[in-house]
Amino acid sequence: MILSLRTTRSRECIEITDKVRDAVRKSGVRRGLCHVMALHATAAIVINENADPNVGLDLLDALEKMAPAGAGWRHDRVDSNAHAHIQAAVLGPQETVQVENGDLLLGTWQCILLVDLDGPRTRRVSVQVIPVGEPDPR
């Protein structure tokens, strides 16, 4: 399944847990793995807290300090977004979450976030649910 999400800012964290959870339910898989991947080089998928949205803002601030925009990156000569590529590479494009009893196995404060580092734009996220230890439905 491909999720399509429209971001509204140049940098933001968007919680997508419910959309991923819905994909798991629709898959019918009771036990397995859910692989979530941003289909972009300037976006990432992370698991973190979103009960306090300041966690996402702190993450964005830390990334900006680590790889700031306009720092003379070579790729900026192409399209001025080298910092977004570097930040996305540090976070990574994907996460895998266990599926138990037909639902995502996440801790109390954990959620799945799409981190857009070069928006606003439409972002695509792939969600694949893989059964583990279940009989082949064929």
Query: CA-to-CA distance for 104 and 119, rounded, in angstroms?
Result: 28
Rg (CA), the chain: 16
The residue ranges of every structural domain in the chain are 2-131
- Reduced to 3 states, what is the DSSP secondary structure of residue 38? strand
What per-residue confidence (pLDDT) applies to 137? 56
Query: CA-to-CA distance for 118 and 96, rounded, in angstroms?
Result: 23
- The predicted model scores a pTM of 0.93
The domain 2-131 having CATH identifier 3.40.50.720: the answer here is: no
For the chain, list residues with pLDDT below 50.
none
Q: Which two tokens stand for residue 31?
A: 């036990």
Residue with tokens 């339910």: 25
What per-residue confidence (pLDDT) applies to 135? 61
Query: CA-to-CA distance for 96 and 28, rounded, in angstroms?
Result: 17
| Count of beta carbons in the 10 Å neighbourhood of residue 135 | 6
What per-residue confidence (pLDDT) applies to 138? 55
What per-residue confidence (pLDDT) applies to 98? 98
Q: Is the separation of the CB atoms in 125 and 114 below 8 Å? A: yes
* Residue 17: φ, ψ to 5°: -55, -50
Give me the half-sphere count of Cα atoms (radius 13 Å) on the Cβ side of residue 106: 21
What per-residue confidence (pLDDT) applies to 133? 83
What per-residue confidence (pLDDT) applies to 123? 98
